[in-house]
Amino acid sequence: MDKMQCLQSDLRFYRLDPIPHGMKKTSQQLLVGTQEKLARVARHWVAVNSVLPAECPLLLLRGVTLEEVNGLVNGFPALRQQVAAAEAGLKLGRGHYEQRKAVLHRWLRDINIWMRGTYHYTPFFAMVHRVPGRGQGYQHWWNAAIDARAMWRLIVAGAPVLLADGTPRRVQFSDGRTLEQFEEVVEEFEAAWRALYGPKIDLKLARGAVALAHEKGAALLMAYGHGVRARLGNKGRLVRTIPKVWPGRKGA
């Protein structure tokens, strides 16, 4: 057999870009079921190789072999497990963040009540924020927390307090909670937010690996029919039984 027939990557049939570069983004639904489609192609590929010379099996794209396709098929479960693990890690981190937000919410609410009852007619009251809604983003909570902390620090430092009757007030809650305890709450809230960065990146990387595997698989599926016909022609049992991997035009 002519050696050039084995150099499949040089044939025009295989100059295909992977998804999404080679297909419209509106056709991403074609990536559904890539693992199952590749498994059907791999079974058919075994039959095709059985009728080809052992030294020149069917290759696709840049010399992709049947073994590589099987590796891609078998690798999908592990990739999905990585995504599931990353999703679980992010959910756990978000749960911890929401718990710290709930603690901060109670502190900010009590600080506002304390300020209205004790420092309403002082310059400090201008630093009081409305307590953010539980659904609002991190920045709203962080702004309210650092302003409340700064306000309390000024009070503790003995800044002038212009009360109506001039009576000095304590700078802690009636139940004994102090500025130091509030500062710990703020630091724990920020740490919980920072701790989300790693799980978010892990999830993006895991999902990116799955997407890349789908794109590689789709490119191979696009090339498989062309590759078989390039080696076996347009007739014969193996050509007629090439697995159907794309929906028809009307049913797409």
pLDDT digits (tens, 9 = 90+) for 197-226: 999 999 999 999 998 998 888 888 888 888
Residue 184 located in a structural domain = yes
To the nearest whole number, what is the mean pLDDT of the chain? 80
CA 231-237-243 angle, 5° bins:
80
| 64 vs 51: CA distance, rounded Å | 18
Residue 89 located in a structural domain = no
Residue 245 located in a structural domain = no
* Average of per-residue pLDDT across 90-102: 95
Checking if the pLDDT of 8 tops 60, the result is no
* Average of per-residue pLDDT across 167-175: 58
Checking if the pLDDT of 89 tops 80, the result is yes
| 31 vs 37: CA distance, rounded Å | 10
| 213 vs 33: CA distance, rounded Å | 12
Q: Are residues 183 and 235 in the same domain?
A: no
Give the residue, 43 or 3, on which the prediction is more confident.
Answer: 43
Structure token digits, residue 97:
């963040």
Q: Are residues 176 and 100 in the same domain?
A: yes
Checking if the pLDDT of 14 tops 50, the result is no
30-87 per-position pLDDT tens digit: 567 888 999 999 999 999 999 899 888 998 888 888 999 999 999 999 999 999 999 9
Q: Are residues 134 and 59 in the same domain?
A: no
The tally of domains found in the chain comes to 2
Checking if the pLDDT of 3 tops 70, the result is no
Q: Are residues 111 and 179 in the same domain?
A: yes
18-42 per-position pLDDT tens digit: 444 445 444 455 567 888 999 999 9
Give the residue, 247 or 166, on which the prediction is more confident.
Answer: 247
Q: Helices in the chain by DSSP H: which ranges?
A: 34-50, 66-118, 138-156, 179-194, 197-232, 237-240
| 97 vs 80: CA distance, rounded Å | 26
Residue 207 located in a structural domain = no
Question: Residue 168, preceding bond cis, omega within 30 degrees?
Answer: no
Q: Helices in 53-172 by DSSP H: which ranges?
A: 66-118, 138-156
Residue 103 located in a structural domain = yes
Give the residue, 182 or 248, on which the prediction is more confident.
Answer: 182
Residue 252 located in a structural domain = no
CA dihedral 62, 65, 69, 72 (to 10 degrees): -70
Q: Are residues 49 and 115 in the same domain?
A: no
| 37 vs 217: CA distance, rounded Å | 9
Q: Are residues 229 and 193 in the same domain?
A: no
For residue 174, the model assigns a pLDDT of: 61
| 171 vs 73: CA distance, rounded Å | 65
Domain extent for 126: 95-200
Task: Assign 168 a pLDDT band (cuts: 50, 70, 90).
Answer: low
Amino acid at 10: D
Structure token digits, residue 140:
């709203």
Q: Are residues 70 and 122 in the same domain?
A: no
